[in-house]
Chain A
Amino acid sequence: MATETTAAAVEGHVSPVGLEEAGKCVDSHGGAIGMPQLCPEWMGNQIFWLAVTLVVIFFVLSRIALPRIAAILAERQGTITNDIAAAEDLKAKAVEAEIAYNKALADARSDAQNIIAETKAGIKAELDEALAKADAEIAARTAEGEKKIAEIRAGALESVGEVAKDAALAIVAAMGGKADAKTVDAAVASRVKG
């Protein structure tokens, strides 16, 4: 085989592929003869390197890669589960908070109603009191006024009587008669009354 190659090299026909590595499976130009897959000379080499590669891949996978990926996936699953649980917790808390809020709101409403009612009642009472007081005052003032009017009226009547007597005396005297004060008084009184 070696001599063949040397001869070919001398002739200058050998391609970069060379000859001796291929034996009967490669022609003098480095081209394949038939199917390279069926060349028995290469099979040992392929099987050896395949075995090496498979063993290395198997150990890399089973020792490092697969446990690591399994751990990552498990951790993610755990995180997701925890997050879902936490979210449910928070949701429950939110519902509780809403209930508490609604209760507080209702309480506040009823309180406000009470306060409004109380305030209304208080204002009404004060108002009533003030009204009563004002009414009493008005009544007192009215009574006083009426009394004054009655006094004034009485005073006026008296004055009218006196003026009438004086006028009657004056008129009698002017007519030349002698006016008796008692008679004139009686006469005027009877006329004024009538």
Chain B
Amino acid sequence: MATETHEGAEKGMELVFHPMDQFIVKPLFGEGAVGVFTVTNVTLWMALALLATIGLLVLGTSKRSTIPTRIQSVAELCYGFVRKMVEDVAGKDALPYFPYIMTLFIFIVFSNFLGLLPGAFTTTSHIAVTAVLAMLVFLTVTLMGFFKHGLGFLGVFWISSAPLPLRPILALIEVISYFVRPVSHSIRLAGNMMAGHAVIKVFAAFAPMILIGWIGVLVTPLSIIAITAIYALEVLVAFIQAYVFTILTCVYLKDALHPHH
């Protein structure tokens, strides 16, 4: 990239910006069309997330020691964190769904953090991935609500604590917001992951400015500092977005288990 830019400078060309190239899906082996079953970089980074999960939660706990090793205490912390979240937010009767929610949390948190490695592909920055996750939650929660409460589940839209004339209007708003949930749920995660990574790339594109002109003496250090700062923010965002996704899942689950406000 630096040499490219240097040549560009000699030819009087501008900086090269490709902030979105990091999100391109490509086959791992050879070149060809991306079919449904093609082994791609998506496969690689999801497999790495899976390996990280196994490493932390299976290999890390293989000693089953009463006094935990470091990695085992991290695994226990993870377990306790999500379990407590499910119990506190959705209630004790939501605990059978704990493995499902734990799967979502672990997948998202590892995908987010693995995506922060330089040169990585962030699977959770793709709306296709997060939309599937969100739709899974939406469908599970909706079907489960109807299965458990029958038509009584519709009570989630009928706010009995509001004054009677307001209730139909509120019901309309509630229905709309209910169906917007999976959209916001998925776009929030994908958007956060994509935006941060793209911003880092944009700042990175400014970094070789020092090879182009004297203004680079000022711009290059600034862009490197900016990359560092955004990266720190992204570390925070990677965890917070996984947390937000999980806690919202718990909230939706609570609505399905206890539809009456």
- Chain B residue numbers with a CB within 8 Å of A61 are 53, 57, 99, 102-103, 106
Check if A58 sits within 8 Å of B64, measured CB to CB.
Answer: no
B104: min CB distance to chain A, Å: 8
Does residue A185 face the partner (Cβ distance < 8 Å to B)?
Answer: no
- Chain B residue numbers with a CB within 8 Å of A26 are 24
From B37, which residue of chain A is reached at the shortest CB distance?
A48
Category for how many chain B residues contact A: 35 or more
Does residue B15 face the partner (Cβ distance < 8 Å to A)?
Answer: no
Q: Which of A32, A60, A76 contacts B66 (CB 8 A)?
A: A76
- Chain B residue numbers with a CB within 8 Å of A23 are 33
Cα A78 to Cα B208 with chains together (Å): 60
Cα A192 to Cα B10 with chains together (Å): 172
Does residue A190 face the partner (Cβ distance < 8 Å to B)?
Answer: no
Question: Do A21 and B128 form a contact, CB below 8 Å, given A37-B190, A60-B58, A71-B64?
Answer: no
Chain B binding surface, main DSSP class: helix
Cα A64 to Cα B18 with chains together (Å): 43
Does residue A174 face the partner (Cβ distance < 8 Å to B)?
Answer: no
Q: Which of A17, A43, A49, A69 contacts B61 (CB 8 A)?
A: A69
Given contacts A20-B32, A49-B40, A57-B107, 10 further A-B contacts (CB under 8 A): A20-B33, A45-B42, A50-B132, A57-B49, A60-B54, A60-B57, A62-B103, A71-B64, A72-B66, A73-B79
Interface residues of B, Cβ cutoff 8 Å to A: 18, 20-21, 23-27, 31-38, 40, 42-43, 46-47, 49-50, 53-54, 57-58, 61, 64-66, 68, 72, 75-76, 79-80, 98-100, 102-103, 106-107, 123, 125-129, 132-133, 136, 190, 194
